[in-house]
Amino acid sequence: MPEQSPTPSMSARPFAPLVQRIIEEATVEQERILKIDHFLNHRIEPVFMEQLGRAMAERLAPYTPDLLLTAEASGIAPALATAFVLGIPLVYAKKYSPNVEAPALSRLVPSPTKGGTTRLVVAARYLPAGARVAIVDDFLANGKTALALTELVQDAGATTVAAGFLVEKLFQHGRAELAARGVPIIALAQVERLEAGRVIMVAEG
């Protein structure tokens, strides 16, 4: 069972520069899709990503992870920035042409928005038994990808010590299954709801 945060107040603290950019720059589609891909997960700003990595690393450091795990492809940039600051390796689960050396660990992830499923695959030797693993990804929405990653960690005989996300969409309830497994959750910014084309952040009260 993952241990609880030694500094819960720090883990829960939003990262103000990210919150502000979401409020000022995000676009909303169909009252459920938040688009910030112009600076986060399509066009990437290296300096801002480095700042996000430092903020995430500060919040993950108390959990003393041995390595970070993310999913291809949009999780790689924030996870790499975080891993660089922490000075630990990053492993990413492949989902595009996911051919890896055997033995491999895999999970199918359903996509409620796109339909169908995606297979996440990691070569077993990159998730050593007994490792303390922190998950890092760009978004926590329905939580299916994050849950699959924690299951890969469990299959490897390792432990998920925390899961960190740049943005959490609270209205999609993705944290429920992670919390039920005792995984501490960190989010640099939390979206309460999307309303009339606006993004309502938790930080707005």
Tokens of 42: 């399509």
- Residue 194 CA to residue 200 CA, distance in Å, equals 6
Are the C-beta atoms of residues 57 and 43 closer than 8 Å to each other?
A: no
State the burial class of residue 98 (Cβ atoms within 10 Å of its Cβ: 0-12, 13-18, 19+).
middle
Ranking 102-116, 128-142, 148-162 by mean pLDDT, the lowest is 102-116
Average pLDDT over residues 29-48: 92
* Per-residue pLDDT reduced to its tens digit, 66-121: 999 999 999 999 999 999 999 999 999 999 877 788 899 999 998 766 668 889 99
Which position has the token pair 């700042």?
51
What domains can be seen in the chain, in order of their start residue?
Answer: 8-204 (3.40.50.2020)
Q: What is the pTM of this model?
A: 0.91
Look up residue 27 and give its amino acid.
T
Q: 91: closest CA among 62, 129, 127, 59?
A: 127
State the burial class of residue 129 (Cβ atoms within 10 Å of its Cβ: 0-12, 13-18, 19+).
exposed
